[in-house]
A and B are shown apart, each in its own frame.
Chain A
Amino acid sequence: MVRMIERYRSRTRFLHWTNLCAFMLLLLTGMVLFVPPLWGVAAQGSWTRLFHRVGAVVFIAGPLIFAVVNWRATLESVKEAFNWGPDDIGWLKAAPRYYFLNDERAMPPQEHMNTGQKMWWLIVLFTGVVFGVSGGLMWIGKTTLPSGVLQWSVFAHDVAYIVVLPMFFVHIYLSVLHPLMTGVWRSMLADGKVPAEYVKSHHARWYARISGKQAESE
């Protein structure tokens, strides 16, 4: 039997699912405003905009509640995302050969998060704040704020959208669809486990750190 290692705890996976659903709802109901002919009738009432608000509450409240309940784990993850070193530069240099040509030789050893995952974390944090602040202003301040603030809020919201959308595609592609990443999706979307072999080759630092402890299971 293949030895498996738990990569994400169940509550992390639950948060990820919750946020994925909220994000998809926001993405689609926002896209209707961006390209209204997509949905035609749906955009005509205020319905898509009402659902956008429902999505926004979940999207913001989910991670906040998680962060309060699991503050230690959250803090560690945020710290890791901001913790960059020479191996990250090496990773960026070697990544094209790895992802395009299946050549892993130059890839430096990685921690629990690799450089690409750290970048996605930073993008999610950054755009999440921009979305939340500009969206909150447009939601609550619509009748009271000066029009200039509202004008630039739409702009900021759109910038965040344009940054996050392609990166979201890349994220899904790399975790689910890329020819090398068979089964990795399970770490977040299913039982949270990945093969120990995979951890050894992709997250050598993390592997070294945990193999001392009793973190493995059959």
Chain B
Amino acid sequence: MAEKSILYDATRCTACRGCQVACKQWNENNEEWKTGQAKLTTNWGSYENPPDLSPQTWLKLKFIEVDRGGKLDWLFTRQACMHCTDAACVKVCPTGSLYRHELGFVSYDKSICSGCGYCVDFCPFKVPRSTRNVVTGIAKADKCTLCTTPALDRLAAGQEPACVKTCPPKALVYGDRAQLLAQGKTRVEELRNKGYSSAYLYGDKELGGLHVMYVLNDSPEVYGLPANPELPAAAVAWKDVMQPLGWAIAGLAGLGLVLNYVMARKAKIENGELAKK
């Protein structure tokens, strides 16, 4: 099946936060209200609210103020799972609750999450968040599933993701990745011609290709995105080197013991108890 993607055009986004609301609503992320744990928000000097992602907030708008020679430039961007091809979270998830969806992005089956929190530690974008009791370790992670949460699966029902559906200026579109890639490139060309010389399409090559691509009118760093996101070295050392090596060592040790048993038994039967001093 052709890979799907979301294309987010930051230059078209008006930061109405409709996507943020639609995401909460569709995914029933209102637990904080139901349990009375919701905190009143406070003004912390930005329209940005809530200030960070959480197990109950999978998508939020980020507001960035850039000083361009005394003139304020107000930039908006989206903060949510980037649905990497080389996803660190999938690599380190021991239970397979985070997995690559057949359409390319990273789905999540919360019911089998063991709460280890490795995805939280390894994601290059710091996306997954987890509830956690620090004493007992009881925990559950959460993140954007691109509307493929079981029983809330919009894609399987032939719908587009909730955030895309609700976006008034069509800054978010959903479709075939190849097509959106071409569309994003054209748009970046346009922006460059208009004088945004550092305009950039984020997600074409990053981490093997992201399934949420961003049209930016400045470099990724300005938008608070890592310029060269990478699979953490510890993930590679652990999963690709240490674990296979571990199997090999354990296997060899097992074989050695069996061999020893056979030889020592034979020697004992043949020589009697011991070749003594």
Contacts and interface: CB of A to CB of B under 8 A. Distances in A.
B136 A53 contact: yes
A109 B87 CA distance: 56
A178 B261 contact: yes
Contacts of B118: 154
Interface string A57-87: 0000000000000000000000000000000
Given A49-B115, A104-B277, A177-B261, A143 B134 contact: yes
B137 A139 contact: yes
B271 A102 contact: yes
Given A142-B117, A169-B253, A159 B242 contact: yes
Interface size grouping (class) on chain B:
35 or more
A25 interface: no
Nearest to B133: A46
A100 B242 contact: no
Given A44-B114, A166-B250, A33 B267 contact: no
B149 to A, nearest CB: 17
A32 B277 CA distance: 47
Interface string B165-195: 0000000000000000000000000000000
Contact of A151 (B114, B115, B234, B261): B234
Contacts of B150: none
Contacts of A155: 234, 237-238, 242
Contacts of B265: 179
B274 A36 contact: no
Contacts, number: 139
Given A99-B264, A170-B253, A162 B246 contact: yes
B257 interface: yes
19 contacts: A46-B114, A46-B138, A46-B139, A46-B140, A49-B116, A49-B137, A99-B260, A100-B260, A101-B263, A102-B271, A102-B273, A104-B277, A139-B134, A143-B134, A154-B92, A155-B237, A162-B242, A173-B261, A179-B261
Interface of A: 32-34, 36, 43-46, 48-50, 52-53, 99-105, 107, 139-140, 142-143, 147-148, 150-152, 154-155, 158-159, 161-162, 165-166, 169-170, 173, 177-180, 201
Interface of B: 92, 94-96, 111-118, 120-122, 126, 132, 134, 136-140, 232, 234-235, 237-238, 242-243, 245-246, 249-250, 252-254, 257, 260-261, 263-265, 267-268, 271, 273-277
